[in-house]
Amino acid sequence: MNKIQAIKRIEKLRSIISHHQYLYHTLDAPEISDSAFDALVHELNDLENKFPDLALSDSPTQRVGGQPLKEFKKVEHISRMNSLNDAFSQEDIQKWLDRLANLDIKNIPEFYCDLKMDGLAVELKYVDGVFVQGSTRGDGLIGEDITQNLKTIKSIPLKLNGPTSGEIYIRGEVFLTKKEFERINKEQGEKGGKMYANPRNTAAGSLRQLDPSITASRKLNFYAYDLMDTDNKFKTKKDKYEILNTWGVTTNPDGKVVNSIEEIEKFKNQWEEEREKLDYELDGIVVSINDNKLYEQAGVIGKAPRGGVAYKFAPKEAKTIVEDIQIQVGRTGVLTPVAHLKPVSIGGTTVSRATLHNMDEIERLGVKIGDTVMVGRAGDVIPDISQVLPVLRTGNEKDFHLPKKCPVCNTSIKKEAEQVASYCPNTDCPARQRETIYHFCSRNALNIDGVGPKIIDALMDAGLVQDYADLYFLKVEDIQNLDRFAEVSSANTINAIAERKNVPLARFVYGLGIMHVGEETARVLAQHFHTLEKLSEASEEALTAVEDVGPVVAKSIFEWFKRPYHRNILKKFEKAGLKIIEDKGLVRGKLFGKTFVITGTLDSMSREEAGQRIRSLGGKVSSSVSKETSYVLAGSDPGSKYDRAERLGVKIINEEDFLKMLHF
């Protein structure tokens, strides 16, 4: 980026950041997520570092942010309440140590590592051991008097269990547990009040209540992180924490002293992994020089003391650019727009694509090609665009439109009026056929091990396979002649296919890939008709009579078996010697009539196996919890289903209970 561009960009970023600072700090009503905001500040910081002459003293990066609301009395802080510089990697920490070394602070023997709760900094004033005043950080110099509200917090002692004379100033973080956040938000929702975005905003909103009884109804927490020590009575940060604790002031119990950069890294990694286990939100750790004298010696630059850094966890969201939006054709012909992103690292892995689901989603987000977006991960796994930052548009963004023709086979795209998705109606579309064969080989269908997309693509491109029945006619020589295939792997492929010449009816029906027939419906159909022959000859009426099969599904199945193309495929299977194992019908075992939902990880078996055992005893396994569910089987690290079960009062059993249930 050249200087002219940088100037423009910096101006733009400054105005956007100021605007959002106002929304966030003064109105408690942010419009963009915290990480989106952080990303903006970060970019501005980088630019200002690159072009130091463009950095201005009134830049938002130079301010701590936030003017006090006029309703509260103003309080001047004893000394400026600063905020720490951020570090995002071990290199950043190393740079910090290098800068300290330049100041002649070398070979620091001890660091204090503390957890960084995501909350609000406050200052408490005690006179003669009695809590007399508390204030928010405000702009760093002047905060708001929220004494009455702070008095409602149980972990802030009204009287210190210690010194009974003189003035004492304590700083710390007020925060909210995740549980309490949910409770408050639920209550707000029921009252039709404003919903909070996250625990931090809720804590901020709660502290700024003009009526302390409202604050009291919300259980806020407090951990101290500093004791103002004007006459240097304490040697280390740890000493301060210990004396605070004896006075009855809590500090974070998980903080500890470490001796090296490696240990800092270890501490950070440990808590980054375990953060979910805590009942409050963490956004990183704070690393400080443990020795107070050295800490002071490091001094303050701008708004940030140099004796400590906030070592932030990898954000769960990151800012990136949508380079293109492309269309994918699925097995059923549904067209899915996928955003191709400028690669970005989120929580340790690099993300370059994210699904946009359908046109409705694109409209809801308002995303255009070239837009800057925030990408997170739904359920911690699947990349997902959470919001667009339209303020960063340059005017060169392009709207995305669905093509009129299938990008693969050029057939005209169709869309049912009341449905969201558009689709390619051509059942012979190569993209659809490919996906159909992948599906046939997939784990829950025929489970042909080692025959994945790559091999299937190669076989199709060579014209060796047109449909999934062709797989059973392949010979080792056929595959060997293809590029990239060695003798061994071709033999393995053939063996893997041959191993699946006896298959249970339910799996086979699922593998066929009939519209609206998934695993569960395939099982029900198999139980009901027992053989493929009977299923294939069933009338629409007979199909509709089956539990869970209505007119739409019945028609889809009926028409599938009617098509000559499919009849021919079934004949080929027969010719290849495929044996379909007859289904014995419904089992009336001891779990008959019981519905299970499985969540979390089990020790003694996979969830798949557990499901099979349940079904073999006549039980059902469902994917979502409702009041119809008999038991939720919870392994370790259960997901959201556990909470839902609790809320609905569904019986939750652990693995041990489950094993007993199987055996008795």
Partner DNA sequence: ATCCCTCGAGTTCA
Partner DNA sequence: CTCGAGGGAT
Q: Point out the residues that are catalytic.
A: 116
Residues 271-330 that bind DNA (CB under 7 A): 328, 330
399 near DNA (CB under 7 A): no
Pairing mode, strands 595-599 and 620-622: parallel
Residue with Cβ nearer DNA (199 or 635): 635
CB of 576 to DNA, least distance (A): 24
Residue with Cβ nearer DNA (530 or 594): 594
626 near DNA (CB under 7 A): yes
CB of 631 to DNA, least distance (A): 12
Q: Which of 654, 650, 625 is nearest to 637 (CA)?
A: 654
Question: Which one among 132, 141, 378, 486 touches DNA, defined by CB under 7 A?
Answer: 378
Residue with Cβ nearer DNA (171 or 641): 641
Q: How many CB atoms lie within 10 A of CB 337?
A: 19
Question: Which one among 134, 599, 634, 635 touches DNA, defined by CB under 7 A?
Answer: 599
Q: Which of 395, 393, 392 is nearest to 43 (CA)?
A: 392
Residues 487-516 that bind DNA (CB under 7 A): 515-516
CB of 627 to DNA, least distance (A): 5
* Neighbouring-strand partners of residue 326: 338
Residues 161-220 that bind DNA (CB under 7 A): none
148 near DNA (CB under 7 A): no
Residue with Cβ nearer DNA (87 or 597): 597
CB of 612 to DNA, least distance (A): 15
Q: Which two tokens stand for residue 201?
A: 């905003």
Q: Which of 364, 360, 374, 359 is nearest to 321 (CA)?
A: 374
Residue with Cβ nearer DNA (208 or 439): 439
239 near DNA (CB under 7 A): no
Q: Which of 358, 339, 363, 516 is nearest to 423 (CA)?
A: 358
CB of 192 to DNA, least distance (A): 18
First to last CA, the chain: 71
252 CB-contact burial (10 Å; exposed 0-12 / middle 13-18 / buried 19+): buried
Beta-strand runs (E) in 505-558: none
The tokens 């003669």 sit on which residue?
Answer: 128
Question: Which one among 70, 166, 381, 483 touches DNA, defined by CB under 7 A?
Answer: 381
331 near DNA (CB under 7 A): yes
593 near DNA (CB under 7 A): no
Collect all residues with Cβ–Cβ distance below 8 Å to 466 and sequence separation of at least 6: 433, 460
375 near DNA (CB under 7 A): no
Say how many residues touch DNA, by CB under 7 A.
58
* Neighbouring-strand partners of residue 258: 111
Listed ranges 81-89, 255-263, 354-362, 585-593: which one lies at the site for DNA (CB under 7 A) = 354-362
* Contact map string, positions 520 to 549, toward DNA, x by CB under 7 A: xxx---------------------x--xxx
Question: Which one among 279, 324, 360, 461 touches DNA, defined by CB under 7 A?
Answer: 360
Q: For residues 644 and 638, what is the distance between their CA atoms, to the nearest angstrom?
A: 11
Residues 548-587 that bind DNA (CB under 7 A): 548-554
Q: For residues 320 and 158, what is the distance between their CA atoms, to the nearest angstrom?
A: 48
CB of 522 to DNA, least distance (A): 6
Residue with Cβ nearer DNA (110 or 519): 519
Residue with Cβ nearer DNA (217 or 640): 640
Dihedral angle computed from the Cα positions of residues 182, 186, 191 and 195, in that order, rounded to the nearest 10 degrees = 60
231 near DNA (CB under 7 A): no
CB of 549 to DNA, least distance (A): 5
Pairing mode, strands 142-144 and 120-127: unpaired
Q: For residues 449 and 497, what is the distance between their CA atoms, to the nearest angstrom?
A: 8
Q: Which two tokens stand for residue 54?
A: 């463009």
CB of 614 to DNA, least distance (A): 12
Task: Annotate 450-495 with DSSP letters as a single string.
Answer: T--HHHHHHHHHTTS-SSGGGGGG--HHHHHTSTT--HHHHHHHHH
Q: Which two tokens stand for residue 343?
A: 């690669």
Residue with Cβ nearer DNA (310 or 542): 542
Q: For residues 516 and 558, what is the distance between their CA atoms, to the nearest angstrom?
A: 12
HSE (side-chain half, CA atoms, 13 Å) at 646: 8
Residue with Cβ nearer DNA (437 or 522): 522
Residue with Cβ nearer DNA (311 or 508): 508
Task: Annotate 303-323 with DSSP letters as a single string.
Answer: TEETTEEEEEPPPS-EEEEEE
CB of 386 to DNA, least distance (A): 11
620 near DNA (CB under 7 A): yes
Q: Which of 420, 422, 424, 423 is nearest to 361 (CA)?
A: 420
Residue with Cβ nearer DNA (429 or 494): 429
Cβ atoms of 627 and 648 within 8 Å: the answer is yes
351 near DNA (CB under 7 A): yes
Listed ranges 84-92, 104-112, 379-387, 458-466: which one lies at the site for DNA (CB under 7 A) = 379-387
Residues 150-169 that bind DNA (CB under 7 A): none
Q: For residues 460 and 464, what is the distance between their CA atoms, to the nearest angstrom?
A: 6
334 near DNA (CB under 7 A): yes
Question: Which one among 250, 352, 447, 527 touches DNA, defined by CB under 7 A?
Answer: 352
441 near DNA (CB under 7 A): no
Q: Which of 217, 216, 83, 73 is nearest to 146 (CA)?
A: 73
Residues 407-436 that bind DNA (CB under 7 A): 419-421, 435
Q: Which two tokens stand for residue 293?
A: 């004298």
Question: Which one among 107, 230, 396, 623 touches DNA, defined by CB under 7 A?
Answer: 623
CA 145 to chain centre: 37
CB of 635 to DNA, least distance (A): 12
Q: Which of 627, 626, 633 is nearest to 597 (CA)?
A: 633
349 near DNA (CB under 7 A): yes
Task: Decide: helix, strand or coil at residue 219.
Answer: coil
Which residues of this protein are in contact with DNA, per CB under 7 A? 328, 330-332, 334, 336, 338, 349-355, 357-358, 360-361, 378-379, 381-383, 419-421, 435, 515-522, 544, 547-554, 595, 599, 620, 622-629, 639-641
